[in-house]
């Protein structure tokens, strides 16, 4: 028997202190607030350990581990919500992808999150494009200086240098790389963000999350069909 009128397992004894919690709708003798109303003091033991032995807030057994929810910024499938394949399957498909063939259009995907690169890579490869990846702005500039590509899908918020600066530096290149179509792909969605990207020299803008059709439509617009020679 506990001091608060309940038994040792935390269940309130009929008529004990815990019984007040069940009188929620009954008014006091003179129209006062119910026992569980704003002016009543809650029994901390009864609230923390209800009769079924589960925590009141979560309905889980004490000590049970809570599974964290998905991180929308880290999970690539949240960027393209209509693809239900697992991240593991997508990553394996990307790793097993064949190298580019002659005449195949090449797209450089630049994003500091691997999961996002994987889903964009997977979507473009399924449509017939060859895909290169870069994990930050410096890596993207290095690839663009060495390898010809037909379009760039570029994130804005990245370490080292952001996407706006990458666009400005590409447009200052002295060779054909400066003419590469650049499609910004970012969660930054204000009018000012879009204007800044276009002023920096970007050709178009996609806001995350986006659909597969939106991504492929923008890439086809600037890079052409996957195996087209024009």
**Do residues 186 and 163 touch, judged by C-beta distance below 8 A?**
yes
The CA distance from 230 to 227, in Å, is 9
Domain boundaries in the chain?
Answer: 12-65, 76-223
**Do residues 16 and 10 touch, judged by C-beta distance below 8 A?**
no
β-sheet with 130-134: strand ranges across: 130-134, 106-110, 151-154, 182-186, 204-207
**What averages of pLDDT result for each successive group of 10 residues across the chain (230 residues)?**
48 47 46 44 49 44 45 47 53 54 88 95 96 96 94 96 96 89 96 95 96 97 85
pLDDT of residue 176: 84
CATH 3.40.50.2300 fits 76-223, yes or no: yes
* pTM as predicted: 0.60
Q: Which two tokens stand for residue 207?
A: 């806001």
**Do residues 215 and 184 touch, judged by C-beta distance below 8 A?**
no
């Amino acid at each position: 028997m506990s001091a608060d009128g309940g038994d040792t397992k935390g269940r309130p004894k009929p008529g004990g202190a815990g019984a007040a919690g069940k009188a929620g709708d009954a008014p006091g003798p003179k129209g006062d607030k119910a026992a569980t109303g704003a002016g009543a003091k809650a029994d901390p033991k009864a609230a923390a350990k209800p009769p079924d032995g589960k925590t009141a807030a979560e309905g889980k057994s004490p000590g049970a581990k809570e599974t964290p929810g998905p991180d929308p910024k880290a999970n690539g499938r949240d960027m393209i919500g209509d693809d239900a394949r697992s991240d593991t399957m997508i990553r394996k498909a990307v790793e097993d992808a064949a190298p580019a063939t002659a005449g195949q259009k090449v797209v450089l995907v630049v994003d500091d999150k691997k999961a996002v690169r994987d889903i964009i890579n997977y979507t473009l490869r399924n449509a017939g494009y060859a895909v290169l990846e870069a994990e930050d702005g410096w890596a993207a500039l290095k690839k663009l200086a060495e390898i010809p590509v037909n379009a760039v899908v570029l994130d804005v918020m990245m370490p080292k240098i952001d996407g706006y600066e990458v666009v400005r530096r590409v447009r200052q290149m002295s060779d054909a790389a400066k003419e590469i179509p650049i499609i910004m792909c970012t969660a930054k969605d204000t009018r000012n963000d879009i204007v800044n990207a276009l002023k920096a020299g970007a050709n178009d803008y996609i806001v995350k999350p986006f659909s597969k059709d939106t991504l492929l439509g923008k890439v086809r617009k600037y890079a052409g069909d996957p195996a087209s020679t024009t």
